[in-house]
Amino acid sequence: MNYTLHQLNIFLEISRTKSITQTAEKLFLTQPAVSIQLKKFQEQFSIPLTELVGRQLYITDFGYEIAAAASKIINEVHAINYKTLAHAGKLTGKLKISVASTGKYVMPYFLSGFLQQHPGIDLVMDVTNKTKVVRSMELNQVDFSLVSTLPEKLSLHSIKLMPNQLYLVGNQQIEIDSNAPLKESLKAHTLIHREPGSATRDAMDIFLKQHDYIVAKKLELTSNEAVKQAVIAGLGLSIMPLIGIKNELQNRELQIIPIQGLPITTQWRIIYRKAKKLSPAAQAFLEFIELEHKEIIVNKFAWIKDYAKADKNKF
């Protein structure tokens, strides 16, 4: 036998996806590269690992046994790497974080310095909507979550990071009388919403209800990126977090439309359960955030404060 860890890793992923294409995408390889490595790996065995029926790839029973063995070998190699780093005085382990979808514009900046300091730590970050973020914390599946509204009925520690401001936005062709009542100024326009369970959707619904605005026509999309592209294309208006539209504002693809009562301001917070027993990796990240978060905000997010001041003068 002369197979490599690279081949074991590729075959393990093939056993999970049953697809050369998906395996290539997951491992950032080309399809021919995956096919060649699968062929070389198969040559090590006299019993087939896979079979092709029509255009569908199937894993044989023997193939699944080899995949299970490959998983154990790869896990042992990771363990060796962790132990090596630990003996060298370097922190190791896994950090699990769930992030409300707009938080993807925030969280990487609070992770990059920490991960550079501790290269032995593996990061697992799930970006989803608020409801699923809260659920992952309820089930104790993550160490930390990044949210803009605090979940109810959970006993939590909370670290306040920075404001999350939501504005009414449209493309550059939209013209609205900001002095007219909300119902009058928006009645001719479609409003684009996030899906139920999104914190942005909740904030938008509360704002419209407070102003007794009944939506006559709306679109509902399942990500901030989809909403942003729809607004740029002229499909309607939306209330969106400022943090996610910096480039589009600078490139003049979007504009903030001044409306009384906006921006809506919430707070980005890192939360974790009070009963959570933090791993050494999680404890180190907590200490890093408490020590460094103010400097990170000044260095990476000063533009938000400056932009908010400039925009306030338009009202």
So what's the pLDDT on residue 65? 95
Q: What is the DSSP string of 199-214?
A: HHHHHHHHHHHHTTPP
Q: What is the pLDDT of residues 216-238, one digit of tens each?
A: 677 899 888 899 999 999 999 99
Spatial separation of the C-alpha atoms in residues 309 and 206, rounded to whole Å: 24
214 in any annotated domain: yes
So what's the pLDDT on residue 165? 92
168 and 253 inside one domain: yes
- Sorting pLDDT into bands at 50, 70 and 90, what band is 36? very high
205 and 233 inside one domain: yes
177 and 299 inside one domain: no
**pTM for this one?**
0.67
Is 60 exceeded by the pLDDT of residue 315?
Answer: no
Is 90 exceeded by the pLDDT of residue 259?
Answer: no
Q: Which domain holds residue 30?
A: 5-87
SS3 track for 40-85: HHHCCCCCCCEEEECCEEEECHHHHHHHHHHHHHHHHHHHHHHHHH
Q: What is the CATH number of the domain that holds 118?
A: 3.40.190.10
Look at residues 87, 108, 132 and tell me which one is the last residue of a structural domain.
87
Q: What percent of the chain has pLDDT over 70?
A: 92
Average pLDDT over residues 11-21: 93
**Which residue in the block uniquely carries the two structure tokens 């139920």?**
196
Phi-psi region of 19 (alpha: psi -120 to 50; beta: other; left: phi over 0): beta
- Sorting pLDDT into bands at 50, 70 and 90, what band is 252? very high
315 in any annotated domain: no
Spatial separation of the C-alpha atoms in residues 224 and 200, rounded to whole Å: 9
So what's the pLDDT on residue 313? 42
So what's the pLDDT on residue 314? 45
Most confident of 155-164, 210-219, 252-261: 155-164
Average pLDDT over residues 201-209: 88
So what's the pLDDT on residue 113? 93
Is 90 exceeded by the pLDDT of residue 42?
Answer: yes
Q: What is the pLDDT of residues 57-76, one digit of tens each?
A: 999 999 999 999 999 998 88
Across the chain, mean pLDDT equals: 87
81 and 13 inside one domain: yes
Residue 70 neighbours by CB distance under 10 Å: 21
At position 18, the amino acid (one-letter code) is K
Number of domain units in the chain: 3
Q: What is the DSSP string of 271-295?
A: EEETT----HHHHHHHHHHHHHHHH
272 and 248 inside one domain: no
So what's the pLDDT on residue 85? 65
So what's the pLDDT on residue 216? 66
Look at residues 63, 87, 111 and tell me which one is the last residue of a structural domain.
87
Q: What percent of the chain has pLDDT over 90?
A: 53
* Beta carbons of 238 and 227 less than 8 angstroms apart: yes
Residue 188 CA: distances (Å) to CA of 96, 174, 215: 45, 11, 11
